[in-house]
Amino acid sequence: MANFGWIAGEPEPPAQWDLRRIGWTLCHGRRGWRAECRHVLVCDTRALSPLQRHALAESDRPAWRLILLGVENPAERAALLSLGCAEVLSADTALHELEARSRRVADMFGMLPRWRDVGSLTLDLFHRDARKGNRWLGLHPREFGVLWRLADTPGERVTRRQLIADVWRLNHEPETNSVEVHVSRLRAKLASAACDDYVQTVPEGGYRLATPKPFLLASGFRQQDALDDYLRDLGWAEEDA
């Protein structure tokens, strides 16, 4: 069964956009937070200005979850799509068209194991970067590749040869220290996010990913991200329970 979220000034979607009428399940996030929602978020943006719609997309950029409704200007729709929005549609979009477009986006999410949670980080295979809350680490593709490969087998040793084969796609060991340089740069970026102990050197050679516990707030829930913060600025977020 497919899930969707609703983002608007009103807590419930109107009938013409209520995907529950055709079998979808409405998700309100965890405690009203959207940080962990990994499904489409349908947004009624009719009450927002173009600047506010742009800020909404920027807050979740790349806005891979967002389906924005109520955008009438074609140039604005194109600009929002360029920010990574899944769909940008006019207000006359009917329920079955919305469902078809939402289904297409949802199917793309399911094609790959796109996300991995590593302690306080979320690894995003589509964006090829790691995120902590609302902050992207800005990983180089091979830095991300090393981190993703280590996350295949957390806690287990991955040799230099394995990294060269799986990340560099080489069947021989080059006479360079490229692996060590990328690991060093990866560690520096992890350290800037207070995750400096995640990638460990193994005495026998190679590296392993530590298995940190999921990051939780004192309340027991994950932290909100930039999208949550912006929705609260708009007054569109549910109050914490």
For 23, the token pair is: 């079998």
Choose among 70, 102, 110: nearest CA to 86. 102
For 62, the token pair is: 């790349």
Domain 3-113+221-234, architecture per CATH: 3-Layer(aba) Sandwich (3.40)
Give the pLDDT band (50/70/90) at residue 36.
confident
For 134, the token pair is: 């609302």
**CATH number among 3.20.20.80, 3.40.50.620, 1.10.3720.10, 1.10.10.10, domain 120-209:** 1.10.10.10
Write the pLDDT tens digit of every residue in 45-70: 999 999 999 999 988 877 788 999 99
Write the pLDDT tens digit of every residue in 124-138: 887 789 988 768 899
- Spatial contact of 33 and 224, defined as CB atoms under 8 Å apart: yes
Which pLDDT value is given to residue 45? 97
Phi, psi (degrees; rounded to nearest 5) at 117 = -95, 125
Write the pLDDT tens digit of every residue in 141-163: 999 999 999 998 889 999 999 99
Structural domain boundaries of the chain? 3-113+221-234, 120-209
